[in-house]
Amino acid sequence: AILVAPAAPWWLLPLWPLWVLACSQYGYGLKVSYHGPAELLLGVVIAATVWIPVVLLGGELSWRGAVQAYLIGTLLSQVTLFSMVYDREVDAAAGRKTLAVRLSPRAYRLVLVTWIAIGWVVAVAGFAAGALDLWLLPAWLAVVAVQVAQIVHGVVRGDALSARRLGWHAFDVAFAGVVLANLLAH
C-alpha cells in the first residue's frame, strides 16, 4: 500500500510495521490487556485504521481526517468497553487488568457515559469547526440515538451484551456515513 499510494510520506514506512505489531498485542505477545492500557491501545489502533489510508492518499493527516479517525476509533472502543463489563469476572480471574476489573461497577458506568459524551462533544466541535461535513449530520444523529439506547441498555439496565450489539450498529452507521459524506463532499 505504501509503495503504490499516490502520496505516502516517508515517515509512514517505520510507523506502519509498528501499527501492525500493535494490532496483535491486546491478548497476544505483550498482552497489553493484562497490564492495563488495553482500552487505549484499541482506540489508537482503530483510529489508525482510518487515518493511515487518509495519509496514504493525501500525504498528510488533515483536521477532517483526524476528527473522523477519532470518532470511528471511539465508537469501536465503546463496543469493547461494554464487552468488558460482561467479561469482568473472567478477565479478573485470568489476571487481566481492564478498566472494568480495576474500577468499581459504578465508576466504570461513569467512564462509559463519559467516553460516549466526549465523543458527542468532539462531533459537535467537528461540525462547528467544519472538520465534519454537513452530509454526515443525518448519520451522526442516528449514531447519537443508538448511543442513547446503548446507555439505557448497558448502564441503566445493566445489559452489557445488548449495549455491545447496539455499539456495533452505531459503528456501522457512522462508518457508512463517513464514507458517504466524504464521497458527497468531494
pLDDT of residue 90: 93
pLDDT of residue 45: 81
pLDDT of residue 18: 84
Note the pLDDT tens digit of each residue in 7-48. Answer: 778 888 888 888 888 877 777 788 877 777 777 777 778 888
User: Which residue has better confidence, 56 or 132?
Assistant: 132
Note the pLDDT tens digit of each residue in 123-180. Answer: 999 999 998 988 889 999 999 999 999 999 999 999 999 999 999 999 899 888 888 8
Note the pLDDT tens digit of each residue in 42-55. Answer: 777 888 888 888 88
Mean pLDDT of 52-59: 82
Residue 56's pLDDT band (cuts 50, 70, 90): confident
Note the pLDDT tens digit of each residue in 65-116. Answer: 889 888 988 888 888 889 889 899 998 998 888 889 999 999 999 999 999 9
Task: Assign 3-class secondary structure to the chain.
Answer: CCCCCCCCCCCHHHHHHHHHHHHCCCCCCCCHHHCCCHHHHHHHHHHHHHHHHHHHHHCCCCHHHHHHHHHHHHHHHHHHHHHHHHCHHHHHHHCCCCHHHHCCHHHHHHHHHHHHHHHHHHHHHHHHHCCCCHHHHHHHHHHHHHHHHHHHHHHHCCCHHHHHHHHHHHHHHHHHHHHHHHHHHC
